[in-house]
Amino acid sequence: MDTATLTFVSTFAPLAAFALGLVVFRRQPTLAAGVALLGALTSLVGTLLLYQRGPIPTPLLTRFVSTESVELSFGFVLDGPNLLMGVLVAAIAFLIQVYSLGYMASDPGKARYFSLLAFFTWSMLSFVYAANLLQMFVFWELVGLASFLLIGFWYEKPSAVAAAKKAFVMTRIGDVGLFVGIVVLLQTTQTLDISRIVAPNTIASIPPDRLTLIGLLLFCGVVGKSAQFPLHTWLPDAMEGPTPVSALLHSATMVAAGVFLFAKFQPLLVASTDVTTVVLAVAVFTAVLASTIAMVSRDIKKVLAYSSISQLGFMLVGLAAGSLYAGLFHLTTHAFFKALLFLCAGSYIHHVGSNDMVAIGRAGARSMRITTLGLIVGGSALAGIPPLAGFFSKETILARLADHGPPALLAGAYLAAFLTAYYTFRMMFLVTRPNPNGKLQPEHTTAGHGHGHDDAAHGTDAPWVMLVPILILVVPSLAAGLFGDTIGARLGFSVDAHPPVVEMLPAVGVTLFGVVLAWFEYGRTGASQLGFVNKLPALHRLFVHKWYLDDLYARSFGLLVNAVSRVAHLFDTRGIDGFTDGIGRQTIAYGHVTAAAQAGRLQLYVGTAVLLMTAFCLFLASA
């Protein structure tokens, strides 16, 4: 099979599965799931074959629109980052669909669920391989639509509907910026072909002011999609969806799309120092902000969600500090261990029926051996314990930042790394070392688990169909870091040289300090289960209330939008509706007046006719 056909097949197989599942197999959920799995497997095999063939520098294009000034060509690009991302998306999507076979086994919307997952995979794969910015934007929006549909999958739950709406609206705010950026870019460079935009001579031809403007506008889209401050608030709420959806959303699709867009336009974005400074500041601030919220949260999925936001900040730091390799390396390792952590969380939630970490720990989560193994490996990788996957990628980013960033930002990044280790091990200790005498009592939060629960059916651990994906993901979480350089070199990245061991020491030091602190406060026997922030009530309150950002948005933008829409509503009901209703009402009233003459009295009619006839005759006679 030639490369173009192979790309086409691996991209569109999930779309075919989506159509089949939703149209033909709607009433046979098992068949729909099977078709979706088959589609995902086709994609996985296809992307792996493409990876095997290695990067192709020239894009495969078909002309779509051609005018005097603009030429639009749609097609596929198979360069290094795209091949890597394609394999990542297909692999994670496939594993999550396998896992979902167990997690969503008894859900009434199973057919719809698997079809939507296939749709999600198709949009993301098409986004990754896109050759043209406009084509990219189309699939960017489709990825947003797919996550909207999946976050609101349990649409009978009002909170899920609200979360889906929030995700859609918040990312749309960023997308407006992105779209304006695309228009400005098209006007400036006369092309939307990605390889031509990021060519050095094109970038050199753009005036500096324009370059900054375009960079900031494109970054708007990234902020929305990759949940960076100030648009990050949708991602924690997106936990309302089924847990495997969260795993997919947080690892290889949706939020990764923002970072990937940044990676594709990295030469353009880092060409302006203003843009670089803004991106670094926003990303580091987001990493710290999200970590502080994660360290006081008790909902296991919320902890993981905030950790995603924080790690996305790290990826952007790597990219903005000038290393495509560092950013995409962390994106890849993070996809593995974050998917693993979410699948483990889903397994606990499925088994215990609560999202509260204390409740999960008390319910004997330790006895779920394989899930707990996954949690420990994934957590350690996230915290950056050497030599797990997260350590290498985070190290590369920090080394890059140390070389190219201001010291204040480096300090912020170290703080975020410390907090990451702290909250990750806090989570692991709360789950695996329950302490009945601790200060934290289990609270029975309504689990984000909409489907019926039959405790008798569960054994000591989750079903095998859920454990196998966890076990598979354990392997790259352990080892992916070791192969970073090999894969990077094969895909044609300029691989960063590893810093000497002495420079690694501070990062390892803060990580280990975080682990030890978490052990002292949550892990050791007789631990108080009170964090160090509890000693500062004001700060603790701030973190628990998510820095009051949601309240701030509700108070300011929410009120403003409500006020405007109330006026618009009033104009609609009173003005437009009133006018049209008035015409109708007047017609009816006039009808009633004339209807009174239709009394059914024959002689009245005849009398009127005679009178009129007489009057007419007299008129004729007088004329």
Is 620 a binding residue for another protein by CB under 8 A? The answer is no
Please tell me the distance from the alpha carbon of residue 326 to that of residue 107, in angstroms, as a whole number. 40
CB closer to another protein out of 525 and 598? 598
Residue 597 C-beta: closest distance to another protein, Å: 7
Q: What does residue 71 show for φ and ψ, rounded to 5 degrees? A: -125, 125
Residue 595 C-beta: closest distance to another protein, Å: 4
Interface with another protein: number of residues (CB under 8 A): 13
**Residue 278 Cα distances to 229, 321, 407, angstroms:** 12, 11, 15
CB closer to another protein out of 564 and 597? 597
Find the binder of another protein among 601, 612, 615, 616 (CB under 8 A).
601
DSSP 95-145: HHHHHHHHHTTT-TTHHHHHHHHHHHHHHHHHHHHB-BHHHHHHHHHHHHH
Is 594 a binding residue for another protein by CB under 8 A? The answer is yes
Taking CB under 8 A as the binding criterion, the range among 147-155, 164-172, 338-346, 596-604 that sits at the site for another protein is 596-604
Token code pair at residue 2: 């030639």
Find the binder of another protein among 69, 525, 598, 622 (CB under 8 A).
598
Is 599 a binding residue for another protein by CB under 8 A? The answer is yes
Q: What does residue 130 show for φ and ψ, rounded to 5 degrees? A: -60, 140
Please tell me the distance from the alpha carbon of residue 449 to that of residue 242, in angstroms, as a whole number. 7
DSSP 307-336: HHHHHHHHHHHHHHTT-HHHHHHHHHHHHH
Question: CB 522: neighbour CB atoms within 10 A?
Answer: 25
Token code pair at residue 415: 């703080």
CB closer to another protein out of 563 and 613? 613
Q: What does residue 266 show for φ and ψ, rounded to 5 degrees? A: -55, -45
Taking CB under 8 A as the binding criterion, the range among 11-19, 102-110, 165-173, 605-613 that sits at the site for another protein is 605-613
Taking CB under 8 A as the binding criterion, the range among 38-46, 433-441, 553-561, 593-601 that sits at the site for another protein is 593-601
Taking CB under 8 A as the binding criterion, the range among 60-68, 173-181, 566-574, 597-605 that sits at the site for another protein is 597-605
Is 610 a binding residue for another protein by CB under 8 A? The answer is yes
Is 597 a binding residue for another protein by CB under 8 A? The answer is yes
Is 622 a binding residue for another protein by CB under 8 A? The answer is no
Residue 585 C-beta: closest distance to another protein, Å: 19
Taking CB under 8 A as the binding criterion, the range among 67-75, 84-92, 450-458, 602-610 that sits at the site for another protein is 602-610
Residue 600 C-beta: closest distance to another protein, Å: 3
CB closer to another protein out of 204 and 595? 595
Find the binder of another protein among 501, 538, 588, 595 (CB under 8 A).
595
CA of residue 363 relative to chain centroid, distance: 31
CB closer to another protein out of 69 and 603? 603
Residue 176 C-beta: closest distance to another protein, Å: 58
Residue 622 C-beta: closest distance to another protein, Å: 19
CB closer to another protein out of 411 and 597? 597
CB closer to another protein out of 578 and 607? 607
Q: What does residue 374 show for φ and ψ, rounded to 5 degrees? A: -60, -45
Is 602 a binding residue for another protein by CB under 8 A? The answer is yes
Partners of 165 in the β-ladder:
none
Q: What does residue 492 show for φ and ψ, rounded to 5 degrees? A: 85, 25
CB closer to another protein out of 457 and 595? 595
Residue 621 C-beta: closest distance to another protein, Å: 14
CB closer to another protein out of 155 and 605? 605
- Do 323 and 317 form a contact (C-beta atoms < 8 A)? no
Is 607 a binding residue for another protein by CB under 8 A? The answer is yes
**Euclidean distance between the first and final Cα of the chain, in Å?**
99
CA of residue 52 relative to chain centroid, distance: 29
- Which string of x and - marks every residue 543-582 that binds another protein (by CB under 8 A)? ----------------------------------------
Is 57 a binding residue for another protein by CB under 8 A? The answer is no
Please tell me the distance from the alpha carbon of residue 544 to that of residue 236, in angstroms, as a whole number. 13
Q: What does residue 40 show for φ and ψ, rounded to 5 degrees? A: -65, -40
DSSP β-ladder status, 71-78 and 56-66: antiparallel
Nearest to 365 by CA among 414, 417, 426, 434: 434
Please tell me the distance from the alpha carbon of residue 558 to that of residue 549, in angstroms, as a whole number. 12
CB closer to another protein out of 456 and 621? 621
CB closer to another protein out of 387 and 607? 607
Please tell me the distance from the alpha carbon of residue 268 to that of residue 272, in angstroms, as a whole number. 8
Nearest to 250 by CA among 239, 262, 261: 239
Token code pair at residue 67: 């005018």
The residue ranges that bind another protein (CB under 8 A) are 594-603, 606-607, 610
